[in-house]
Amino acid sequence: MIIRTVTLDDAKGICDIYNYYVENTAVTFETVAVSESEMQQRIKGFLDAGFPYYVVEINGKIAGYCYLHNWNNRCAYSSTKEVTIYLGKHQKGKGLGTILYQHLFKEIYKNDIHALIAGICISNESSVHLHEKFGFKQASHMKEIGWKFDQWRDVEHWQLIIKQIPPKILILCTGNSCRSQMAHGFLQSFDPKLLVYSAGTKASGEVNPKAIEVMQDAGVDISHHTSDSIGQYIGDDWDYVITVCGGANESCPTFSGNVKNRLHIGFDDPSEATGTPEYVQSEYIRVRDEIKKAFYELYTNKIKGYE
C-alpha cells in the first residue's frame, strides 16, 4: 500500500472509482460519468490552487482518494474548506478512509483553516462514521435538496471547528523499521487525529515485514508506513519526541528543535531474536504487546487530554 500525492496520470483510476458512484448511487449528485480528460482538468485545478490531494495505491491500482477544496469562493469563507473522500466499491471497511484522512489532516493543520465541512447524502453511514471518528459534528440536515434515481434526496453537512491542533509526536529508534513503526501505528490507532511521525537515526529504508504481519494480527495496518531518516524532521517543533531503543536514546540529545516533552520508553529489538521460527514469532508478539501497553498508558495519562 502506498499513500502519495495525486498526479494527472491518476485520472483514469479516479474516474473508475468516482463514476461507479455517479452511475449507481446518490453519494454524488452528478448524473453523467466524468471523462478522463475532465478529471485531469479537475485534478490540475486543485493542484494549481495548492490543495492537498492524496491517493491510496494498492498493487499498482488506485483504491481511493481524498482532497481539500474551497467550500465557498467568497472571501469571508477563506478559512472554511471542504473535504472529499471516495473509496473503490470493494475497498470499504478496510481502514483506508482513516489512513487517507490521517495524511490529509497533517497538511490541513499546517494551514490557517478554522472550519472543515463534509457534505454527506443520506444515508451513507460509513461516511458518517468516518467523519465522527475525526471529530466532525452534524451541522445541518437539508430535506429533499436533490433529485436522483427518481426520488428526492436529503443531504447533511458535518462540520469540524479546529479549536486546537492535536499534539505533534515523533517516535525515534535506530532503523525506523520495527519498534518505532509499531508504536507509531498503535498511537495513531488510539486517536486518528494525532499527528504521529516516526524516524530513525540510521533509517533502514523499509518497514520490517514481520512487524507489519504482527501489527496486522493486532488490527493495525502499517503496510503504508515508510522508513524515514531523522534528518527530515530536525528543526521542526514537537509536542513529544519519544525514543524506543537505546541507540536512538543516546543520539537524541543532539536532536534540534522546540521539543516540549522528551521521553524514552525502551523495548527489546525483536529483529535480533534467533532460534526457531516459532520463538522468533513469539518475540515479535511479545514486543508488540509491550509497546501497545506502554503507549496506551502514555496516551491515556499524558496525551489524551489535549482536547
Let me know if 15 is a catalytic residue: no
Mean pLDDT, the chain cut into blocks of 10 residues (307 residues total): 96 98 96 98 98 96 98 96 97 92 94 95 92 96 96 97 92 92 97 93 92 97 93 89 75 67 91 94 97 97 84
- Averaged pLDDT score across all residues of the chain: 93
- How is residue 91 written as a grid cell? 475497498
pLDDT confidence of residue 139: 97
Q: Which of 15, 66, 121, 173 is catalytic?
A: 173
pLDDT confidence of residue 178: 95
For residue range 246-299, what is the model confidence (pLDDT) as tens digits?
765 555 545 667 899 999 999 999 999 999 999 999 999 999 999 999 999 999
DSSP structural state of residue 300: I
Q: Which of 66, 121, 178, 245 is catalytic?
A: 245
At the fourth CATH level, the homologous superfamily of domain 168-303 is Response regulator (3.40.50.2300)
Same fold, 2-161 and 168-303: no
- Enumerate the domain spans of the chain: 2-161, 168-303
C-alpha pair distances (Å), 273 with each of 279, 286, 287: 8, 11, 11
- 2-161 to CATH, choices 3.30.1310.10, 2.60.200.20, 3.60.15.10, 3.40.630.30: 3.40.630.30
Let me know if 173 is a catalytic residue: yes
For residue range 3-36, what is the model confidence (pLDDT) as tens digits?
999 999 999 999 999 999 999 999 999 999 999 9
Q: Are 176 and 228 in contact (CB under 8 A)?
A: yes
Let me know if 245 is a catalytic residue: yes
Alpha carbon 111 to chain centroid distance?
17
Length of the chain, in residues: 307
